[in-house]
Structures are given as structure tokens and as C-alpha cells.
Amino acid sequence: MRRFFPSAARFSLLGLLWASALCAGEWATFRGDAQRSGIASETLTLPLVHAWTYRPRQAPVPAWPDPMTINYAVMHGPLQQTLTFDRAFHVVADAEAVYFGSSADDSICSLEALTGRLRWRFVTEGPVRLPPALDRGRLFAGSDDGHLYALEARSGQLLWKYRPGPDDRRLPGNGRTISLWPVRSGPLVDAGQVLFTAGLFPDRGVFLCALDAESGREIFKRPLDFTAQGLMLASADRLFVPTGRTAYWSCERSDGKPSLRYGNSDPWKSNLVGGCFAIANDGVLATGPSEDGQFHWFNFSDRSPVFRAHGDCVIVREGVVYLLGKGRLSAIDRTACLSDRKDRKEPTPRWSVDAGTSKVMILAGDQLVAAGTNELAVYDTTRVQNR
């Protein structure tokens, strides 16, 4: 089954759909949970009805331009853009409201979920480039001004703010005036803690921070020797930190202590396995799309690569991997592509269908919702057939 729906310009389309169609639930963080699974138990009621459209006065202003056509260091191309974390106003939602940050007017906004009316706007001193996170009536967002903000979700009132950097020095960066320690990882709220990174310049200090979500009290702050940009995620005992164009870095969830060592032979530090998006699922991490346009899958335990495939977005539920890429949406047996068998061959999809311009997707019950340029499609995974 496939339905089309006009896009809400300049927004994260699936986030807006979620706020409108599933307002009885909560989409508290980017892709729904700390694993960035993109999965919810709720089922959409079809057909979808266009409830409202909110058009911000200014479009997103991404930090980074498209890459050069050819990577002259290795003489290959064209290159896939990996730093795409701020190319849309990604939203989160609860039963009452939709929330998003703006890289254009340096603000955090709340809209009424049923009508799209602006409830409140909180202005920071720099671009807000990554999605906020909701937790127990509080909204957390990081800014290029070098602060993490905790706001009361209902009113937008400032509860507390935290500056990881040693002072408030600023400089020209990405076409704006930013802190030497901008928050570029997006806050992750897990087990009563807010986790995020700050800093673009390792020689000036980059920090992994954990704060008490209620009070803002510092639990730990660990220095890093790399730039962190993108969406952080967590498993039960590990954090996975985005490093921009290179691979995700892993540490202990409890104290930020590095759990992996990297060297020239480490497959996770290949030049082609970067990206600002990842999902964690049952002992496996998928990161991408990398510069070669692929998702790369690795075991938690030994960092061994187990699978790679061209794609724009991926979802894993139970025994199925849903892969969206090259204009196709495919369902693949998990064991066929994510096992450790030495004789593993290229898996044959259970089904594969035309996906039009779709680049992103979520899974609501048994319905895959995929979106692209001016298009939204709903697929019933229990009935879809090869075509």
C-alpha cells in the first residue's frame, strides 16, 4: 500500500507527520529513542489527512557546504555528503506540542500539535543545529553559542543552562559567530542524564559531558581528541559518539571511559565509514551514509564489519532489515546480512519496491512511512510485494 502526502517545506517531514498523526504518543528524541531506531508501536490511521503546515520565515542554514566532486587525496568521486545533520529542522513531539531548533534565527520553538500555532520561542546566541530532546516536561537543546539549555516544555521558561567550555570566547565559524566549544552532537537523554559533546577544535578542547537532567549538575566531563558532530546514540552499556566524516567512537555509558582502541588497521576508522547518522540494534551498529554512499555494519563486541550496502536510511526490527536507497525500499532477512558466517553471500531481499524520491523513513506498527521531495508514502510491510 502506498499513499502520497504533500511535504511540509523546510521541516523534517517525518517528524511533522509524527506530531500530527500520533499526537497521543510521544516522539521525544530524534528517531524516537536512544538507539535511533525510528520505530514506534503505534499504527497510523489511513488515509492521512493534511492537518496544517508551518513554514518558518527562514530555511535552515547548514554549517557545511557540499563536498568537492572529487576527493583528490585518493582520486575518487563523486563524494557523498556526510555532514547533513542540520539540513532540516528536525522535530520532536509530545501529546501537546511540536518542538524544533533553528539554525537560521538562533531559536528553539514550540508549536501547538493540533493547530500548528506558535506557542513560544526561546532565543539563544547562536544556531541550534541539532534536534532537541524531551524528558519529563523538560526540553533540552544545544547551541553553537556553547551552551546546553534546559527549558520547561510547556512555557519555554529557562530552567538552567550549562557551558562546557572554560570561558565564553567566540570566533567566526561556519559563516557565523560561534563559541570555541559549540554543541554539535545533539543532546541524548537517558536514565535521568543528559549526554552531549561540545567543541570543534581538539587543540582547544572537546568534551563529552553528562549532566543530571533535573538540576544540570555535572556528573562527568571527559576530554576527547576529535571533533564530534552529528547524532549521539546509546545501547544499554555504551555510548556511540559521531565524529563527522570519520567513524563513530565508543565509550562506557556510565563514565565516558573509552571502550575501543583505534589504530590504522581499525575498520571503524576507515576514511569511508563516517557519517552523522547511526542506529544500534541487538549488538550491531550501522553507520552512514559514508562518503561512498554506503551503510556499514559492525559488531559491538569486536568491531568486526559484517555487512555494507548502498542506502540513505535503514531500520532493523526483529529479523528484518529495511533498507532505503537508490530509489528502492527493500526488506532483507537479518540473519542473511548480519551474521558472522564466512561464506555469507549478497542477500536476496524478501521484497523490493520502487521508493520514488524517498530518503528517510520510520516504522509505525507494521507501516513503513518513507518521505522524499514533495512525497510521502506508506507501505504495509505485511502486504507489500516485489515490483
Q: What is the pLDDT of residues 214-248, one digit of tens each?
A: 999 999 999 998 888 888 999 888 999 988 777 78
pLDDT value for 260: 58
Is the pLDDT assigned to residue 184 strictly greater than 80? yes
Asked if 331 and 320 touch (Cβ cutoff 8 Å), the reply is yes
Q: Is the dihedral of CA 364, 366, 371, 377 positive or negative?
A: negative
CB burial string 169-199: b at 16+ within 10 A, e below = ebeebbebebbbbbbbbbbbbbeebbbbbbb
Contact 347, 354 (CB under 8 A): no
Phi, psi of 256 (to 5 degrees): 80, 10
Per-residue DSSP letters for 281-303?
Answer: ETTEEEEE--TTSEEEEEETTT-
Higher pLDDT, 293 or 205: 205
Quick: pLDDT tens for 19-75: 444 445 689 999 999 999 999 988 888 888 889 999 998 999 988 877 655 655 555
DSSP 66: P
The owner of cell 506530531 is: 19
Q: pLDDT tens digits for 331-369?
A: 999 888 776 555 556 788 999 999 999 999 999 999 999
Nearest residue to 335 via CA among 350, 314, 352: 350
**pLDDT confidence of 301, banded at 50, 70, 90?**
confident
pLDDT for res 12: 43
Asked whether residue 139 carries a pLDDT value surpassing 90, the answer given is: yes
Identify the three-state secondary structure at position 366. coil
* DSSP codes of every residue in 218-265: EEEEEEESS---S--EE-SSEEEEEETTEEEEEEETTT--B-----TT
Per the DSSP assignment, residues forming a β-bridge with 118 are: 111
Amino acid at site 131: P
* Cβ-proximal residues to 75 (8 Å cutoff; 6+ apart), any chain: none
Maximum Cα–Cα distance for the chain, whole Å? 58
Q: What is the mean pLDDT of residues 270-287?
A: 74
pLDDT at residue 273 in the model: 57
Closest by CA to 260, choosing from 238, 278, 279, 280, is: 238
Q: Which is it for strands 360-364 and 39-40: parallel, antiparallel or unpaired?
A: parallel
Task: Tell which wins on pLDDT, 33 or 271.
Answer: 33
> Which domains does the chain possess?
13-380 (2.130.10.10)
To which residue does cell 546546553 refer?
148
CB atoms within 10 A of CB 90: 27
Q: List all residues 6 or more positions away from 150 whose beta carbon is below 8 Å from its beta carbon.
A: 138, 139, 140, 158, 159, 160, 161, 162, 194, 213, 216
CB 367 within 8 A of CB 44: yes
Where b means 16+ CB within 10 Å and e means fewer, 4-14 reads ebebbebbbbb
Phi and psi at 124, nearest 5°, equal -100, -170
The fraction of the chain above a pLDDT of 90, given in percent, is 49
Residue 387, Cα to own-chain centre: how many angstroms?
30
How far, CA to CA in Å, does 105 sit from each of 138, 296, 331, 341?
A: 22, 35, 40, 51
Partnered with residue 314 across adjacent β-strands are: 323
Residue 80 has pLDDT above 70, yes or no: no
